[in-house]
Structure 1
């Protein structure tokens, strides 16, 4: 039999034989532990959809007529790796932990979609290159998707073995104390996030909170409520030069205790202990009210701001991520970054070469 036409991601090792496993009309889907029920149900659904067969799920061992066995095995080397074995007598998925079983089931589901009841006999050994495999979706500067759309997306991402999702937010979380900011944005409510977080966990995806905390704050700044007089000096200096709203308004993106009040409301809706604070593209930094400060202190103005955000994040038991597009221009300041922050990079072009120097990343556009 030819090699399977499409397996995504492509497995590391695939050994194909000439034999075929014909799925019987009656068989059992056996799990070694009750904790694997979700993975078994995912496979059961695929068998029903693509092979038009209804197999019962049972737990334990020593059953006759086993069609598929999902088995936890501590001897497996890679925490999220799996082995998928299809022989002429049945199918076995083994892994060290439930996430590996799930990824093996995802691969098996793709085979079922392509071959229905006549599966090629093969052995696949696979494990991920990176522990974090994430997608960030901008839900602030384009149409805000419905909760159901995001739930559907999570399911698709999980089948592709993506294990982290971030929803980029500027003004699209319904902060209870700031309704004027999101009033016309059809935002995600706290209940929406709680439901989404639970669904992500079930699918092996970590939903990471993402609240831009410096640039891209125009939808906050346009409201007169957020006046400079109510903000600490360090925040006024850092944000004071941002894109101005109407001339009569001198504003800043958060009132009463800066971002900490937003973090206090946002973070309890997530089980993740990460927080992406953004911090990217503050185009007006060094202009307007921050001009003299930046002229005197350069990139240290930005570093001090990131450090203050870091204190707020860690005080809430989280680890901070931020975009490295500004700090990359000040390599001499990089050693002063808190050691547990993660500086991240995006590429502005489709083809981007990423280089690493210490904690800094930068991109070279090749086309």
Structure 2
């Protein structure tokens, strides 16, 4: 029988994190944490993130030592025969006579399982400190998906500071995520291509190596993610790369130009050695211009899908030569399902979709039936939103988890994109990050959990129980406008997509301006509650300021939209001069504050572009 004691490094994790990890846990929040949970009241009284697959609480007991200092050193054992599921663990807490430290045992399938048991035990210790009692319990747990991760968009303007990334890694590890991807277009410091990244505050090779090591110590795999076909505008806009474009001025590489592959080969030779991961995400989504330019003849002869696949296979050869397993976005291959059987057997298709009702059932079954490994890839719904799209995010996250599990997905990746200048601040994504962690670990045990309460407890750490519900409700305020555009909100529609365009046939032209007034009033009502939050976080004041800023931007969008509609759905430039002056006076003080808040977590590269959109709006209003 294979039964070995955990190596010293894991023992330090189990002992050290638990003894020192008992910061204030919100009792009020914990009490309501699984208010919609369908399981026994005893289990619902100990809400965890994620909730374990099986948890039996027989009774509670008082132990002053645990309630004040957490659990002491724990005997953790690796026994894959007793715990057959990879990353799985069994955790038992039992009372002992005389007030002695409780008997705590961990049996895990592997080191990762022991680490996840320690995260569960840490959360129990935090609640014990508030409740004044300890649960006598037995937990049997393992994940639905072997790979569970978050993808941060560091290409669209925002490159986080290293401190921000380290804090996120700690947070994600505590929720049992085990993969992190940084989506890159031009924000890695490629040694042979400084012109591309020189103004972008890129991630350097040393920073990637440091972050990779930090992730590994917390059982997180840092996976390289570099788009390699479309979304290459930052490269192709420069004279030295423009000749590689499919169309003049476009953002897609020409798939039939051998020099496109030469460029990618050089890029990956610089990028991949900085990562210890065995995988690499090469992107290759949204190749809308294929066949419309230099590859026109090849597409006419062989078809767009075939030309796409031929280029994808060349990229596969590059990353395979580096010993990496290729991930790629699956939208284009889904448009050409007859080509799926021709995919290399070692690829991982990334089945992404970000709106409620995405065809996960059909698409995941397609990959399953063709024996192609795949991830399901939902999103936070925070981008293009300012304040989130809560109902859509939660439905999208749950649907991805359920269908991915049912059809044998290898992984689950929560994406947090930065379209439109990355205007949303990081904490807007905390609630969907947390819910994604829960349902990707075990859908059945977590899909009915209260996401607002769990965000209060484990993301915002708000003992007043304000922030989770505030984030939840702010993310739904946009619905009062009467329009819920896919992958966006009415705020972004007025501030970006249709700011300088006519509203005809946009859906915005039929809105009742009174609904925008109601939306703005709802945002004001909700954000006023933020003063009551009591977050046990060093960045509590920053979080409040970030939410206030995004709320102010949403309010301004509603006022701008209502003004245009009341003026006959006119262009912004056609608004009466006095009204434009009023709107300008509302927007102008927001811009310097936006810049200041940006720099609190992120590097300066990209800020000029992002804030520049706001400055363009201001200039138009001041004409």
TM-score norm. by structure 2 comes to: 0.48
Report if aligned partners of 2:242, 2:249 keep a CA contact under 8 Å in 1.
Answer: no
1:293 corresponds to: 298
Mapped pair 1:338 → 2:344: yes
1:314 corresponds to: 320
Which protein has greater RCO, CA pairs closer than 8 Å, 6+ apart? 2
| Deviation, structure 1 residue 256 | 8.8
Q: Matched residue of 2:213: which SS? A: helix
Alignment of 1:242-261 (within 5 A): 243-244=249-250, 257-261=262-266
Mapped pair 1:210 → 2:225: yes
Output the CA distance in 2 between the equivalents of 1:328 and 1:337. 12
Output the CA distance in 1 between the equivalents of 2:85 and 2:294. 52
Closer, same or farther in 2 for the Cα pair 1:333/1:129, shift >3 Å?
A: same
Output the CA distance in 2 between the equivalents of 1:269 and 1:135. 19
CA RMSD in angstroms comes to 2.6
Output the CA distance in 2 between the equivalents of 1:54 and 1:79. 27
Higher helix share: 2
State how many pairs are aligned: 316
Report if aligned partners of 1:241, 1:291 keep a CA contact under 8 Å in 2.
Answer: no
Alignment of 1:91-170 (within 5 A): 91-116=104-129, 118-170=133-185
Output the CA distance in 2 between the equivalents of 1:241 and 1:125. 56
Output the CA distance in 2 between the equivalents of 1:126 and 1:114. 19
Closer, same or farther in 2 for the Cα pair 1:20/1:192, shift >3 Å?
A: same
Deviations 1:160-218 (A, max 9, x none): 11111111000010112111111111110011000000000000000001110011101
| Deviation, structure 1 residue 348 | 3.0
| Deviation, structure 1 residue 330 | 1.2
Q: Matched residue of 1:333: which SS? A: helix
Task: Select the residue among 73, 80, 88 that pairs with 2:79.
Answer: 73
TM-score norm. by structure 1 comes to: 0.79
2:287 corresponds to: 282
Q: Matched residue of 1:348: which SS? A: coil
Closer, same or farther in 2 for the Cα pair 1:256/1:108, shift >3 Å?
A: closer
Output the CA distance in 2 between the equivalents of 1:164 and 1:256. 28
Report if aligned partners of 2:70, 2:126 keep a CA contact under 8 Å in 1.
Answer: no
Task: Select the residue among 173, 177, 188 that pairs with 1:173.
Answer: 188
| Deviation, structure 1 residue 292 | 2.8
Output the CA distance in 2 between the equivalents of 1:71 and 1:21. 26
| Deviation, structure 1 residue 118 | 2.2
Mapped pair 1:324 → 2:365: no
Mapped pair 1:53 → 2:53: no
Deviations 1:138-174 (A, max 9, x none): 1111411111111111111111111111110000101
Output the CA distance in 2 between the equivalents of 1:106 and 1:192. 26
Output the CA distance in 2 between the equivalents of 1:352 and 1:301. 26
Closer, same or farther in 2 for the Cα pair 1:322/1:243, shift >3 Å?
A: farther
Q: Matched residue of 2:47: which SS? A: coil
Report if aligned partners of 1:243, 1:284 keep a CA contact under 8 Å in 2.
Answer: no
More displaced stretch, 346-355 vs 333-342 = 346-355
Output the CA distance in 2 between the equivalents of 1:254 and 1:211. 18
| Deviation, structure 1 residue 79 | 2.3
Q: Matched residue of 1:292: which SS? A: helix
Q: Matched residue of 1:209: which SS? A: strand
Mapped pair 1:348 → 2:389: no
Report if aligned partners of 1:83, 1:126 keep a CA contact under 8 Å in 2.
Answer: yes
| Deviation, structure 1 residue 345 | 1.3
Q: Matched residue of 2:147: which SS? A: coil
Q: Matched residue of 2:61: which SS? A: strand
Output the CA distance in 2 between the equivalents of 1:227 and 1:220. 8
1:262 corresponds to: 267
Report if aligned partners of 1:217, 1:253 keep a CA contact under 8 Å in 2.
Answer: no
Output the CA distance in 1 between the equivalents of 2:138 and 2:266. 52
Closer, same or farther in 2 for the Cα pair 1:197/1:360, shift >3 Å?
A: closer
Closer, same or farther in 2 for the Cα pair 1:130/1:242, shift >3 Å?
A: farther
Output the CA distance in 2 between the equivalents of 1:132 and 1:18. 34
Closer, same or farther in 2 for the Cα pair 1:83/1:334, shift >3 Å?
A: same
Closer, same or farther in 2 for the Cα pair 1:18/1:210, shift >3 Å?
A: same
